[in-house]
Amino acid sequence: MGKRILITGGAGFIGSHLSRELEQAGHFVRILDNFSAQVHGSRPERHDTLAEVQVGDVRNREHVKLALNGIDIVFHFAASVGVGQSMYEVRSYIDNNNLGTATLLQALITEKSPAIERLVVASSMSIYGEGLYVTAEGTVIDKARREVRDLERHDWEPKGPGGLPISPRPTPETKRPELASVYALSKFDQEQMCLMLGAAYKIPTVALRFFNVYGPGQALSNPYTGVMAIFASRILNGHSPVVYEDGLQKRDFVHVSDVARACHLAMQSSQAAGHVINIGSGIQYTILEIAERMARAMMRPTIRPELTGKCRIGDVRHCFADISLARKLLGFEPRITLSDGLRELTDWLSRQRAIDKTKEANAELLSRGLAI
C-alpha cells in the first residue's frame, strides 16, 4: 500500500525528481513550496508531476500544519542554497533554513496524530568544509584549512602540520564538520535539529549529505545553484565558464536520478534511521575537467574555461564522497556515469534558454571582499 508523503521544497530540482520517483512507486505525494523567484524565475506555481501542490512557506505554521494533514512520511528539502550568497544574505539564509526547519519540527512534535513514520532531511557536503586528507606517512588530517596569506599568493593546496604537503581522500561521515560558510552552518543546524528531535520524539530520521547534484531540471538562471548549471548557463549564452582558483579543485558529481533513488531507499531502510549518510558518485573530478567536458558535450568545444585566479571566501579545495555507508545502510549504488549523465543533460539543455547572471553574482562577491 502506498504512503502519503510530503516534500517541502518539492517543486525544486531534487524534489521534482523525487516526486516522480515516489509517484511511480505508487505513493501519494504532496508538495509544499513557496516557488521562490530566484529558483523558479517568472513561472511561479508550475510543476510537472502528478503531485498535489500546496503553495506556501515552511516558515508559516498554518501552511505547515495544513501540509502535514494525513501525511505518513516527510522529506524536508526546503532551503536557500548557495555558499557565496549566504555570506551576505545572512538573515535570509538563517530565516529560511533554520527557522523553516524549526517551524516544521514544532509542527511534527505538536500535531502527533497520525505519527510520522520517517523524516528525511536534505543536508550538504558543505558541512565538511575541506574533505579528508592524509600525509605522506598516512596520518589522517581531518581539519585541513587554507590560510588567507597562502590564497593571496595563489598557493591553493591546504598544508599539513609544519606546512607539509597532504593529499585528499574520500570523505566519510565520521569526518568532523568544519563550517566555512553561513550556508554550511544552516545545513548543519537543519540536520542536527532533525536528528535530535527525531530521537527524542521517536520519529525515525535520516540526514542525507548530498554532494554536487546535476541533471535536467536544474535552475539555469540562478547563479547560486550547482556548478554544472552555472557552467551550462554560460555556455548556452556563448560565454566561457568562470572557474575559480586554477580549476584543479576536486569534487564529486552525482546524477539527480541517483539522488532521488537514494532518497527513496532512505525512506524504506530500517537501518538508516538516526544516521547521516553521504550521497555522491564516489568518483572525483576537477572543476576544470567538468567545464571542458560540459563545453564538448554541448557542441561548443571552442569555448574555453576562464580561470579567474581568485578564491571565494567559504570555498574549499577538495571534497569528494566516501559512499561506503550508503552502500551498507541503503544498498545504494550509483547507476549514471558522468558521460551518460552529460548526454542526458545536454539533450535537455538543447531545449532550454538561460539568463546568465554569473557576472553580477561574481561582482557582488568582489564588491564585498568575499573573493580574493
Q: Which of 133, 183, 214, 244 is catalytic?
A: 183
Helix (H, G, I), strand (E, B) or coil at 286: strand
Helix (H, G, I), strand (E, B) or coil at 90: helix
Residue 75's H or E segment, with its range, is strand 73-76
- Give the span between the Cα atoms of 349 and 236, in whole angstroms: 8
- Give the span between the Cα atoms of 7 and 281, in whole angstroms: 23
- Give the span between the Cα atoms of 256 and 17, in whole angstroms: 7
Residue type, 24: Q
Is residue 183 among the annotated active site residues? Answer: yes
Residue 317 phi/psi, 5-degree rounding, is -80, -55
Give the cell for residue 343. Answer: 548526454
Helices (H), 208-337: 227-236, 256-268, 287-297, 324-330
Give, in degrees to the nearest 5, the angle at Cα 322 between 157 and 82: 65
Contact between 127 and 174 under an 8 Å Cβ cutoff? The reply is: no
Residue 254 phi/psi, 5-degree rounding, is -125, 135
Task: Encode burial over 4-17: b for 16+ CB neighbours within 10 A, e otherwise.
Answer: bbbbbbbbbbbbbb
- Strands 28-33 and 166-169 come out as unpaired
Helices (H), 162-226: 182-200
Find, among 5, 81, 80, the residue nearest to 49 by Cα.
5
Helix (H, G, I), strand (E, B) or coil at 201: coil
Helix (H, G, I), strand (E, B) or coil at 353: coil
Mind telling me the catalytic residues? 183
